[in-house]
Each structure stands twice: as structure tokens, then as C-alpha cells.
Amino acid sequence: MRKIIFVTGNSHKVKEAGDILSPLGITVEQNNCGYPELQEDELEKIASFGAEWAADKLGTEVMVDDSGLFIRALGGFPGPYSAYVFDTLGNDRILKLMKGDTDRSAVFRCAIGYCVPGEKARVFTGEVMGEISLEGRGNAGFGYDPIFSVGGRTFGEMAEEEKNRLSHRYRALLKFADWLK
């Protein structure tokens, strides 16, 4: 099995990545060393920079994940600032911001940055279209999962296996795994 270091403080992301990549012969090990996060509007630039920085710091191949929830009615907010906004406002305040909005469409995007020390990073992206529910539903997953709905059900209402077959991270990780082969 090939081992890749996943640089993130989010153990939920590591579990998802491990569940998705292990059938392909790849084990994922977490390292929480962190990396300086660019203040950019594009996930790809953030993931690329983070992967290059972490690979050089750790001296091994690494992957990073920068994901964001882009809500149309809020002009793409919170976008690349999703983690900060979730930690600061949470789902209830996002729902309050959207009170009365009829356009509830949103897209979850993921950029997986992969890098070997001394090389340029490669970035693999995935996205899933959905909508913001009227209320939080379900206890599964993490972050925005209880308010992000696909096909009438939130990620928070789905079993891990079902979410992992639909998610933005799954789509990005599949592209990454295909490239690794």
C-alpha cells in the first residue's frame, strides 16, 4: 500500500479520504503541522501553495484539501473562507442570512493539492451541486453537511458511504487516485 501524508487539522477529512482511497491501495496518514493559508479567492491557488509548503517542510509527498461552500444568493460566500465562517457563524447564522431567499442553490468545491518536495504541486478538483436547506437536518458528517442538500437530503442525513459517493471531495480524490495510477 502506498502511504500519503494528509496535512490537515480536520480528522473528518482524513477519515473520508482514507475511506475513499484505501480500496485503491492508498493509505492516508494525518499530519497536523499546518501551513500558511493564502488569502485567495481560488481554492486551487490555496491548495497548491499549501501542498508545496508542506512537502518542503516535511520532506515527503503530501496532500492538502481546501474546500469551500459557494452559495449563489450570497454572492459565492463563504467560498474559500468556509472553515473560518463556519467556526465564527455556524450553520444557524448562515440559514438566517438566507432567510427569505428563494434561490438556495449552492456548490461544494474541493481542491486537493499534491506535492513531492522540490516540485510544483498538482491540483485535482471536484464539485457537487446542491442547495441550502431551510433548516439543519441530520447528525452525520461535519461542518455544513446538515444544511447542504443533494436530491432532497442533506449530507448530514446520509450514511458516510452514500455521502462519499456524491461529495466534492470524492470527485477530487478520484481524479487524484487516477493520476497516481
- Nearest alpha carbon to residue 101 among 78, 72, 79: 72
Count of C-beta atoms within a 10 Å radius of residue 158:
20
Neighbouring residues of 89: CB distance < 8 A, sequence distance ≥ 6? none
- CA distance from start to end of the chain: 12
DSSP E strands, 8-45: 26-31
66 is catalytic: yes
Q: How far apart are CA 115 and CA 120, in angstroms?
A: 7
DSSP secondary-structure letter at 72?
Answer: G
Q: Which of 19, 41, 66, 145 is catalytic?
A: 66
* Residue 119 contacts residue 135 (beta carbons within 8 Å): no
Task: Give me the active site residues, please.
Answer: 66
